[in-house]
Amino acid sequence: MLIIPSIDISKGKCVKLIEGKPKTGITISDQPIEIAKFWETQGAKVLHVIDLDGAFSGKPQNIPVIMRILNEVDLPIEVGGGIRKVKDAVRLVNAGVKWVIVGTAILENKSFLRELLATISPEHVIIALDSKKGKVLKRGWTVSTGFSPEKIVEDFQDSGVAAFLYTDVGVEGKLSGIQLKAVEKLVHSTKKPIIYSGGISAIRDLLNLAKIGVQATVIGMALYTGKLSLREAEEAVSFARS
Ligand code: AMZ
């Protein structure tokens, strides 16, 4: 299982919110590029970069920071938050972003994915399933779609997208552990790779996720508060595999 450090950007700074609510959480650094470089030195294989202002406002707001990470860090990155226009996704992929993470646009516009895949390969697309109490949210986690993550997966799993990113919004940033049963249900509903995010606080969480077949997991707060180190997390899951 791949361990992916998260870099959430708001107003040019690297932050971690609690349950994705503005003005909560901690500011990690006003130099997100340095944070990205740090994870590279620590052996990260992939970075997860979210434009929080983009997710809240509906259009990308931190593109210069993302471009600098692309230029200065030699790792594949996945980028999400506010990618609601095909041209914004295409621009990011053309600039070297390996995967664009798209949530709201796909949930609100039936033709968005088809239009997107007319221009970029589905291998560059990850669909976000930001879920709370079994329902997928959109628009910066402020509006419920009323649909279960399994329903969204069913609708889009044949599109060829690279993966689904399941975020448990209710535990995000809280270091409270994970709701494994819900993740397991989702993993079993599809053959597509599931990336998990939210509430990871201990090696035990990682081992449980690996055991149920999660392909990758995004970790934020636990890494930034020192509860876990990237190296120990990677070591634990590599033992779990062998
Ligand atoms: O923290 C939040 N409120 C938040 C967040 N981290 N809102 C959205 N996002 C992330 C999702 C997904 O990766 O987890 O932004 C992406 C989806 O953005 P959009 O604009 O496509 O719905």
Residue with CA closest to ligand 1 atom 1: 20
Gap between the Cα atoms of 68 and 49, Å rounded: 12
60 lines ligand 1 (CB under 6 A): no
Residue with CA closest to ligand 1 atom 15: 81
Residue 241's pLDDT is 63
Gap between the Cα atoms of 166 and 204, Å rounded: 19
Alpha-helix runs per DSSP H in 103-157 = 104-108, 112-117, 149-156
pTM value is 0.98
**β-pairing, 99-102 with 125-132?**
parallel
Residue 213's pLDDT is 97
- Mean pLDDT rounded to a whole number for the chain: 97
Compute the distance from residue 151 Cα to the ligand 1 centre, in Å: 19
What count of residues does the chain have?
A: 242
Residues 234, 237, 166, 103, CA torsion sign: positive
Q: How far is CA 6 from CA 104, 148, 172, in A?
A: 20, 25, 12
Residue 110's pLDDT is 87
- Superfamily of domain covering 2-241: Aldolase class I (3.20.20.70)
- Which candidate, 94, 160, 96, places its Cα nearest to that of 127? 160
Residue 229's pLDDT is 97
Compute the distance from residue 101 Cα to the ligand 1 centre, in Å: 8
126 lines ligand 1 (CB under 6 A): no
What tokens appear for 22 in the block? 């503005």
7 lines ligand 1 (CB under 6 A): no
Below-70 pLDDT ranges, the chain? 241-242
Domain boundaries, the chain: 2-241
Tell me the residue type at 37. K
Q: Which of 51, 130, 168, 205 is catalytic?
A: 130
Which residue from 116, 141, 161, 219 has its CB within 8 A of the most atoms of ligand 1, so it is best to mutate? 141
Residue 177's pLDDT is 87
pLDDT digits (tens, 9 = 90+) for 60-111: 999 999 999 999 999 999 999 999 999 999 999 999 999 999 999 999 998 9
168 lines ligand 1 (CB under 6 A): no
Residue 240's pLDDT is 73
Concerning whether 158 is annotated as a catalytic residue, the answer is: no
Concerning whether 168 is annotated as a catalytic residue, the answer is: no
